[in-house]
Structure 1
């Protein structure tokens, strides 16, 4: 049993908020501080107060040595009262005497004392590290500044740079790097502003600065925000007199392709070819890659012909890119033909080519063709590499063949290859899906043993697997281990834990955990709200679900259709159908959401259960009007309604409509329809549907047999009921319920077939626990038929199993014996009654 106190203690333990990417110094600073020795009382620090902490700190560095004074209590006391402007003074002074020590003090104040430096201090250190050529550290400092300042902060930083650092060494490099950092964060307007200001201040941006900016225009979301900025930048390059390089043209075309602006990419390509120079293989490959990425493989193939027109021969990259595009599009067989084209042009397919093709067949689930390609590779002398093995492992795992995936893993290790974290994650995911959680944990231990550090994805897979399996304590232990390593969970992890707690019925623990996330860690995510609302709805606590919905509105989050589906489900389960329908007709429309098939099906099923059949038909018509495709469950609800209204022909037509639309009816669909025909005594149609199920490779369930046997017995067709019963016994995949046995036993007993009833009763005893009620049902029916000897046989059988008749059964049998004049049997039964403590 889950130890809830332990679980909750773990859940309430906050994740460690450590610095996940600590700044690593590029160099070990070893300042001599010889210049600092020149600092004395005669130096002008522009400080009137001789006891000023700035002067005391500088004097402390001189008197006690820099590193000793940095770690002293006196320094800690002084620094606690310093303002950012005073630190600016200290760093400015140290820069003049020993620049590297200024950098050391900057990092110590920030990392050891938690001091928040001003922009001035940051720029002082930026100029120092830029002058010394420490470009990585320069980028890291500027990245932190940009992260802190956010978008639209470039004008402020530019003004600060120009007013305070004009004429400083390496100032141009700081400007360029700042533009690059803004660009890398997708803040293209800020980056472009800095470039324009540089030109205004006579700093000349290099073509590489422009290239870096264009590189970051390849993201589609940037195109939505700044649709024309790419051409502004290109015109700015031309106006600056900078000659665009071939790389510039290449990334411009690539950026256009990544924004799905293929027509503009082709037009620009034709323009530069017409005006400037013969296109190179690089430009053609960029276009081929762009068109393949956008799914326009046919256009990409035509570019190969255009290459020959310009006397540019395709290379291996050209073919591999095109083959990859065709494989992604599912045209793997056609992609195979390009291997022959490669060989005709003197290009030998390499390992990359074969890996692409193997991956293509794996994506199609054709592992046999993938295996044939592997043999062809090896025949040509190409050995499998890590990528090949990973592709094959992913392919087998995707097909559910985890054993083959593990076998390839062993082979991979025996060949001396090191599995990647991604490969381990694929295997772990497959193991978790089939419930082999111990084996998945074994792979985690194996990863650690070979020196691989599990990442967020690895831990997420395991946490989700244990949560879905209901092993919450283990899931929380893994969660705790992950946080202890400084890996911050994401919404997927939080969601997995919340879902697991809700599924275990631990709704109060889930709510407290949810509140801790939203209040203390500022995780505000509609997905987490949806999980909690769904948890409350399924447990019947619709009031709490509605309160959470109101909280969503207060937090200015946008509810999703999943939010409303859960609320509608909860309201329907609480029989508040008017409120549920109001959500459909008003609240969902307010947010511009489209009701899904789940929305309609939930409401239709609820109205059916309440007997509001007209409302079900109304919702069905609304679905059709809004072109919401029904699901199998939707059709099943409609069939229930028609069966309830005895409109069996229309119900049967719905089944035909499902198949016509490519939907496969499930067992519940057929069971509903079969039961409908049984109720109207149309056993012929019911049996026809039964055999139709098998024709479509759908195994009838025990419920199917129950319905048919009950229907046949109800209308005295015991011959076919026996056939159906025997048919079910011969099917190893079906285990009839006790109800099916008792139904046919009662039917034979009522008809006087005591022998058959006894045979089936013996079968019933072998698989189920027999109660007084089961015996009474048979004996009662035999007595009504005056088959008293058979009734006595069942009575003896009952007594032999230690089951004694109750008073009602005794009364029935005594009355039957009395009417028959069987005094000896009456005496015998009365003796049994006395023995059982019953009184007549």
Structure 2
């Protein structure tokens, strides 16, 4: 009796909370049965090993949790005397199971505590017990959290075993339906769709109802598959109340498959229902319509939206405005922007960004800038994306000054440029030959903490090579390699191309030969650059030698390789050999001749005047279904013009438009020049009007041809009128236009107008040389206009140009023929003063 009493007394004294520092939980993944088999004997430190009534830790923990509550249970005063205590998975299952009925909240807290404090991995059973507790209390967020943690540990393909446990151990439990439904939902949200579908199948067998949230989650995951429609049919059969989200998911699935008409029909079917059309659904369809290029259909959807009592939001308008901008309908896009404001929908930063980008795509940077001004008026500040679009637009049209100004504006507003903005500016600066400015901008980019990539380095290296700053390019190349940015064929190609374009062929070959030591010259692109460089420099022999080298290395040439060599052979005057290349070498390597191949050969035959071979090649192209380009047609037109077949050239021009090809300025200039030579000035100007009609801006060469035609074969007054109108319209002209009309007026004897045009040429900052003065003086002298020649000679002297020996001799001869001896002496004195020695004729 005494022993029993002492034992009982000891147990009563020990029924207190176990300390967190002394509880050690077994976290084995072995089954509960195995854990029970190996369960250690728990012996309190103050009890003899022969005590017949050892303490049951599960019973004591449950009792303490019930009596003390969870907060007092984990207090420090109750956990001192239980070092060495171990709990395994099976014991934890029993504790939670015992607590679930009388102290359900404590069961949940105990599960959380073990996991958070000790990383204890709970069994499926414990997780499902707590899940049912949470479901019964409508604590669905926590229910989802518990199941998510369980599925993270269980992984995919765990649905069959979990469903079996639910059916066998929890069938009649309260809130069992909610646990099943949440399990399917969590499987779906965890992208374990097959497991989710398995759970749904089991729920159907057990006649358990699936919530629309679970269905929606599965529909979303399956929206790009046909299974989506089976699931939707199940929703309708089960009469599950749908939500607006259900319709939105179905419409998104249809739109992704470009089934826009079916999506609209679904909208119409659900009209009037509680889950009927929403603004989101309309936006989805409108977005897809615009991506497919059906901006008009998107506009019609706005009307339908209003019909159903829905009001477009900012996102709706942005979708439509973007679609119209991409289609080039900027006026309509601006109209819808105004419509937004009428319906009290404020345009946001994205709206203005879309409009600015639309103007940028059309090259209308003035319109883009106006959009930015409107943003500022509305109190909206342009963001990085908007500025980047503007910088790209200005740089594309070569307006680097405006691009740099925008950069300054961005920095002043505290907006840091991104790598794209810098790269675009660097590229534009290099293309403009402003490489030093590009290097300064590059250093600014690095100072801002932006890392230059391979593309950035390649842009700078190519720019430096084009400016013949090869040493600096190599320095940048080494710097790039030190940063472990390894060059590719594009980088090597940039250096090679730069060297070749500057006709530094020996340096290019040295660089190329260093690459030959490695595997880099397996890249046909590098060979193509070198071969093309040799061809353009007129060294066809070295080009052919490199071709033979790549054949020896068993590197397959490309059609670009062959085109370069064919061009070189044609340039070298061996057109027959070039055509043999077309027939033999291209076919030998299994290559197909390209449009460029035929165009190069056709141009060579055109230069020879061999129109028969030219047209044979044109027919061969058509037979092989190789479409001619606008350059091909230009070559043919040039050949027809050489044979004075002008009407055929006009018909070919019309054929180009019929085939969807747009002639360029060179095409028109070729025909216009031919009509001018044929003294058909009227048709030449009709062709000029046709260019304007097709929105093709004539080049300065076009106007040079027309002015020259009027001067030679037309009315000089018309040439004066044309030049005057061009000056008034600020249309760019070349020096040739002025020298042509000056020459014509000299021939006609109208020196005053010649002088006026000469002055215009000077005012327009064209480079004037002594040869320009000499040319005019020489023509005046030939026309025996001695006084006028003398006047022009004095104008030259007053402009600060020293006469050369030739011009002095010309004008001296003119003075001599006119008997103007005093002027000869004056000229001789001037020559001696200028360091020139009068010749024998002048001295005589």
Does TM, scored on the shorter chain, surpass 0.5? yes
1:760 counterpart (787, 792, 796): 792
Instruction: Please list, as runs of the form range in 1=range in 2, the aligned pairs for 1:652-801 lying within 5 A after superposition.
Output: 652-680=685-713, 682-726=715-759, 728-729=761-762, 731-750=763-782, 754-765=786-797, 766=799, 768=801, 770-801=803-834
Distance 2:392 2:722 in 1: 41
For 2:232 and 2:786, the matched residues in 1 are separated by 102
Map Cα deviations across residues 781-819 of structure 1 (whole Å, 9 max, x no partner).
33333434433432333233222244xxx2x55xxxxxx
> Per-residue displacement from partner, 1:434-455 (whole Å, max 9, x unpaired)?
4333333233323333332223
Q: Conserved in 1, the CA contact under 8 Å of 2:193 and 2:221?
A: no
Give the structure 2 partner of residue 600 of structure 1: 633
| C-alpha spacing 1:368/1:558, structure 2 compared with 1 (3 Å) | same
Aligned equivalent of 1:561, options 595, 599, 615: 595
Question: Any gaps of 5 or more consecutive residues in structure 2?
Answer: 1-120, 122-153, 159-191, 203-214, 545-561, 567-581
| Structure 2 residue aligned with 1:441 | 439
Which of 558-567 and 697-706 deviates more? Answer: 558-567
Matches within 5 A, 1:312-461: 314-328=312-326, 329-330=329-330, 331-343=332-344, 350-356=348-354, 359=357, 364=364, 365-367=366-368, 369-378=370-379, 385-391=383-389, 393-394=391-392, 402=400, 405-406=403-404, 408-410=406-408, 412-413=410-411, 416-461=414-459
Q: Does 1:644 align with 2:687?
A: no
Asked if 2 retains the 8 angstrom alpha-carbon contact of 1:674 and 1:690, the reply is yes
Match of 2:576 in 1: none
SS at match of 1:686: helix
Question: How far is 1:778 from its partner?
Answer: 1.6
Gapped runs of 5+ residues in structure 1?
Answer: 1-131, 133-168, 174-193, 216-229, 814-828, 831-840
Residue 43 (structure 1) aligns with:
none
Once the two structures are superposed, residues 272-330 of structure 1 have per-residue CA deviations (whole angstroms, 9 ceiling, x without a partner) of: 77999524443222112212333433432433443455555544433433344345442
CA distance in structure 2 between the aligned counterparts of 1:506 and 1:443, rounded to whole angstroms: 27
What is the DSSP-based 3-state SS (H/G/I as helix, E as strand, rest coil) of the residue aligned with 2:626?
A: coil
Q: What pairs up with 1:268-307 in 2 under 5 angstroms? A: 270=268, 277-307=275-305
Q: Distance in 2 between matches of 1:685 and 1:249?
A: 71
Q: Distance in 1 between matches of 2:533 and 2:371?
A: 44
Question: Over the residues paired in the alignment, what is the CA RMSD in angstroms?
Answer: 5.2
The answer to whether the 8 Å contact 2:349/2:375 transfers is no
Highest Rg: 1 or 2? 2
Q: For the residues of structure 2 that align with 1:235 and 1:495, how far apart are their CA atoms?
A: 54
Distance 1:312 1:760, change over 3 A: closer
Q: Is the 8 A contact 1:533 1:563 kept in 2?
A: no
Distance 2:837 2:347 in 1: 84
Alignment of 1:51-200 (within 5 A): 172=157
Hey, what's the Cα distance between the residues in 2 that align with 1:314 and 1:348? 11
Residues of 2 paired with 1:699 and 1:315: CA distance?
A: 47
Match of 2:643 in 1: 613
Equivalent in the alignment of 1:7: none
CA offsets, 1:72-110, max 9 Å, x none?
xxxxxxxxxxxxxxxxxxxxxxxxxxxxxxxxxxxxxxx
Is the Cα–Cα contact under 8 Å of residues 748 and 756 in structure 1 kept in the other structure? yes
**TM-score normalized by the length of structure 2:** 0.58
Aligned CA distance change for structure 1 residues 400 and 484 (closer, same or farther; 3 Å) = same
Alpha-carbon separation, structure 2, partners of 1:568 and 1:283: 57
Number of residue pairs aligned between Structure 1 and Structure 2: 599
CA distance 1:377–1:694, change in 2 (3 Å): closer
Paired with 1:383 and 1:680, the residues of 2 have a C-alpha distance of 59
Change (3 A) 1:385 1:679: closer
Contact 2:216 2:245 in 1 (8 A): no
Matched, 1:804 2:805: no
Instruction: Name the CA distance, whole Å, in 2 between partners of 1:461 and 1:585.
Output: 42
Cα distance in 2, alignment partners of residues 567 and 252 from structure 1: 57
- Residues 295, 470 of structure 1: CA spacing in aligned structure 2 closer, same or farther, 3 A cutoff? farther
Paired position in structure 1 for 2:180: none
CA shift digits 1:506-549 (9 cap, x unpaired)? 45776885996997476567xx8986776566444678555757
> Residues of 1 paired with 2:221 and 2:737: CA distance?
67
SS at 1:614's partner residue?
coil
Aligned pair in 2 of structure 1 residues 805, 257: CA closer, same or farther (>3 Å)?
Answer: farther
Distance across 2 between alignment mates of 1:804 and 1:431: 49
Structure 2: distance between partners of 1:574 and 1:499:
31
What CA distance in whole angstroms lies between the structure 1 residues aligned with 2:346 and 2:693?
49
**Residues 432 and 465 in structure 1, CA contact (< 8 A), matched pair in contact too:** yes
Contact 1:435-1:465 within 8 A present in 2 as well: yes
Aligned to 1:622: 652
Q: How does 1:26-65 map to 2 (within 5 A)?
A: none
- In the superposition, the TM-score normalised over structure 1's length comes to 0.58
Q: Which has the higher contact order (CA 8 A, sep 6+)?
A: 1
